[in-house]
């Protein structure tokens, strides 16, 4: 290609790249509140779902020191997660609660802690109960 064709092509690419960032709407621009939100650490939430021995009884056990309670969410089949139970922690931040399968449907659970002034919302999966 001739040099006379290359220079306008390079200028067009540079112009397109700079104009696309200049035309971002204010709603897409990052605000100081969202930047502050990103800087918050997560809660120190740890949880797991286990079967008690081989008894077909299931529990969720975990630990959190940054909030006095956790929220247990349940999803039945292909539905969405809904609040199932609020669980208070003991003085050391430990919690334990029994969970049940809904009929013969696949039942999945998550544990979460809400957003506070110092921590952002934290949700972790616990596991699913299903019949084979």
Closest of 116, 54, 107, 62 to residue 89, by C-alpha: 62
Residue 13: the pLDDT is 80
Q: Return the SS3 of 16.
A: helix
CATH fold of 37-129: Immunoglobulin-like (2.60.40)
E-state strands within the chain: 46-51, 58-63, 69-76, 82-88, 94-99, 107-113, 122-129
Residue 6: the pLDDT is 80
pLDDT in tens, 62-121: 999 999 999 999 999 999 999 999 999 999 999 999 999 999 999 999 999 999 999 999
H helix or E strand, kind and range, residue 14? helix 3-22
Backbone angles phi, psi at 73, to 5 degrees: -110, 145
Residue 15: the pLDDT is 74
pTM exceeding 0.95: no
H helix or E strand, kind and range, residue 15? helix 3-22
Residue 28 CA from chain centroid, whole number: 22
Region 10-18 average pLDDT? 77
Q: What token pair was written down for 40?
A: 């918050």
Cα Rg, the chain, nearest whole Å: 25
Q: What token pair was written down for 110?
A: 């998550």
pLDDT in tens, 21-68: 655 555 555 556 666 666 899 999 999 999 998 888 999 999 999 999
**Band (8; pLDDT cuts 50, 70, 90):** confident
Residue 23: the pLDDT is 57
**Band (20; pLDDT cuts 50, 70, 90):** low
Residue 31: the pLDDT is 57
Residue 7: the pLDDT is 82
Residue count of the chain, please give it: 132
């Amino acid at each position: 290609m001739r040099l006379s064709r290359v220079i306008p092509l390079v200028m067009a690419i540079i112009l397109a790249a700079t104009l696309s960032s200049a035309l971002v709407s204010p709603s897409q621009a990052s605000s100081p509140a969202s930047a502050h939100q990103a800087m918050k650490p997560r809660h120190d939430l740890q949880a797991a779902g286990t079967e008690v021995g081989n008894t077909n009884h299931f529990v969720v056990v975990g630990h959190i020191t940054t909030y006095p309670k956790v929220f247990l969410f349940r999803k039945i089949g292909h539905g969405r997660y809904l609040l199932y139970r609020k669980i208070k922690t003991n003085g050391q931040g430990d919690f334990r609660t029994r969970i049940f399968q809904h009929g013969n449907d696949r039942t999945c659970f998550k544990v979460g802690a809400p957003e506070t002034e110092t921590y952002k919302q934290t949700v972790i999966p616990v596991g699913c109960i299903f019949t084979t």
